[in-house]
Amino acid sequence: MALTSGAISLVKKFSDKLQVAATAATGGTGPYSYTWYIDKSSSSFSPDASNQVAGATGLQVTIPDLIPGQTYYIKVVSADDGASGSTVTSTALTAATEPQQANPNTFAQNAGLGQVDLRYSINTISAEAGEDLVSGQAVKFGSDNKVHACTANTDRVDGFIVLNVKKNNYHAGDYLEIARAGTYISLRATSALSAGDACVIDPTCIGGVTAIVSTETPTAQAMKSCSEGELVVCYLACPAL
């Protein structure tokens, strides 16, 4: 019988890691070995050395060092070690890490995603959600006069959702606060940034900003140098109505 991959399921998710499990492979001749892969670009990604999870060889693994609020695609490759050494790749599991939660400490000590520096919060307004949204998300006003998620780095950004320590998730019809141009807010860097870099939103990561690589209109400016995955204070340059 041909080698068949087991199914992957999500066991538990955290802001910076995912616990996943797979059922055992069937067919062929055991024993089997397993290699895990993770990618954030597409469920159709090809497993290779660049996206392999180091040291993950069991049927249940923990994948560390992930970005909060990010969607990931996970595959396991099963090898038929007892016979011809053939391999089979599973269907991708789609799983997202938890958004980063607020810390009760002050902004300067330990900011959360979407938290504004109150000393410089000069341009925030209330708005109504037109869909499910979370703190830190870049939004734009729709024809219904409600805010909707920006889905491309070329979208007009009308603001970023401000962190509310009592409520981090919003549904259509909920009221929230958005930060506009001139405000300092904590966002997630999805590429390495240098102090002063102009940034645009990264639509693959909630609350994510990345360095400009073409002719997009900047929505923010990084206030310090940082690595990919870190929170960074940004000065908002998004348009104000």
Q: Which amino acid is at 32?
A: Y
For residue 102, is it within any domain? no
What gap in Å lies between CA 30 and CA 86, rounded to an integer? 11
Better pLDDT: 160 or 99: 160
Identify the domain boundary among 30, 63, 96: 96
Q: What is the mean pLDDT of residues 86-111?
A: 73
pLDDT at 110: 61
Q: Using one digit for the tens of pLDDT, what is the confidence trace for 124-148?
A: 899 999 999 999 999 999 999 999 9
Same domain, 77 and 128: no
For residue 1, is it within any domain? no
Same domain, 82 and 129: no
Largest CA distance in the chain: 67
pLDDT at 108: 54
For residue 196, is it within any domain? yes
Give the dihedral sign, CA 230/232/238/241.
positive
pLDDT at 189: 93
Same domain, 132 and 232: yes
For residue 208, is it within any domain? yes
Same domain, 142 and 200: yes
Q: Which amino acid is at 14?
A: F
Average pLDDT, the chain: 87
Phi/psi of residue 119, nearest 5 degrees: -70, -25
Same domain, 227 and 112: yes
Cis check for the bond before 99: say yes or no (omega within 30 of 0).
no
- Least confident window among 16-25, 50-59, 117-126: 117-126
Both structure tokens of 6: 């087991």
- Give bridge partners of residue 161 from the DSSP assignment: 178
Same domain, 69 and 117: no
User: Could you tell me if 143 and 104 are in contact, meaning their C-beta atoms sit under 8 angstroms apart?
Assistant: no
Is 0.75 surpassed by the pTM of this model?
Answer: no
Q: Give the residue from 96, 72, 128, 106 showing the smallest Cα distance to 186.
A: 106
Q: Which amino acid is at 178?
A: I
Q: How many residues does the chain have?
A: 241
Domain total in the chain: 2
Both structure tokens of 137: 């998300």
Better pLDDT: 49 or 29: 49
Same domain, 174 and 226: yes
Domain that holds residue 121: 107-236
What gap in Å lies between CA 57 and CA 35, rounded to an integer? 5
CATH of the domain at 82: 2.60.40.10
